Amino acid sequence: MQKPSATASGKPLLVAVTGGSGSGKSTIVRKVCEHSPDLPIAILQQDHYYRDLSHLKPAERDAINFDHPGSLDMALIQTHLESLARGVAIDRPTYDFATHTRTKEVVRMEALPIIMFDGILALHDPGIRRLFDVSVFVDVPDDVRFIRRLRRDVRERGRSVEGVIEQYLGSVKPMHDEFVAPTRRMADLVISWERWNDRSIAMLANAMRELYEKS
Ligand SMILES: Nc1ncnc2c1ncn2[C@@H]1O[C@H](COP(=O)(O)OP(=O)(O)O)[C@@H](O)[C@H]1O
Ligand SMILES: [Mg+2]
């Protein structure tokens, strides 16, 4: 079946999924898509929008605080979400985490009827926040998020335990407390994701379907 190109009103539904690092945002976005494979959902990840640091020396790049909002190209995020909200496709940048640079490759992303934006700072910037029709904050205690992050970075990213702890205490935690945690109260919906909570996935997917079909 061909996917429709827009909702009845012609305006895509924009859904923000935010919360701290390791809370389970990307997992939830994936599970919503698996729960409702017929929903025409496109996923946009904040991670592609880190600023290009090719003008800095490699040692200087490593000193950047990647958990600070200033490390992201917020203006481009806003421009791209505004395009998608109007039903206009974007050329999404691609970021190379190994070199902290934006690669030449761009990825065309069509404005499907439902856009899910996944990022720790989705609700931080007022100009971006106002673009979302629905926002979800994934709520998980800090200790659990830290343990998940430690596991993921050691197992999947080849990092040392000491290195992960240092980064957590040095930038991840202070930036979370200052910029991410305060956006919890700005979200429409808070999902408790300390355990696998499949009911919350079903409820979110069903709410999105209802908004999509009515819009
Ligand atoms: N409810 C859960 N219980 C246990 N582990 C989870 C849960 N949800 C996600 N995870 C795991 O935690 C890690 C971080 O999840 P992820 O979705 O990547 O978080 P985020 O995108 O918010 O940083 C992953 O390894 C994921 O498999
Ligand atoms: Mg993620």
Identify whether 205 is part of a domain: yes
Residue 148 sits in a domain of what CATH number? 3.40.50.300
Question: 182 lies in a domain?
Answer: yes
Question: Tell me: the pLDDT tens digits for 101-145?
Answer: 999 999 999 999 999 999 999 999 999 999 999 999 999 999 999
Full domain range(s) for residue 156: 13-214
Residue 4 lies in a domain: no
Q: Is the residue at 2 inside a domain?
A: no
Assign 114 to helix, strand or coil.
strand
Q: How many domains does the chain have?
A: 1
Q: Establish if 3 belongs to a structural domain.
A: no
| Best residue among 148, 149, 156, 195 to mutate for probing ligand 1, ranked by most atoms within 8 Å of CB | 148
**pTM (2 d.p.):** 0.93
Is 43 contained in some domain?
yes
- Residue 155 near ligand 1, beta carbon < 6 Å: no
* Mean pLDDT (whole number) for 180-198: 97
| 5 occurs within a structural domain | no
Does residue 1 fall inside a structural domain?
Answer: no
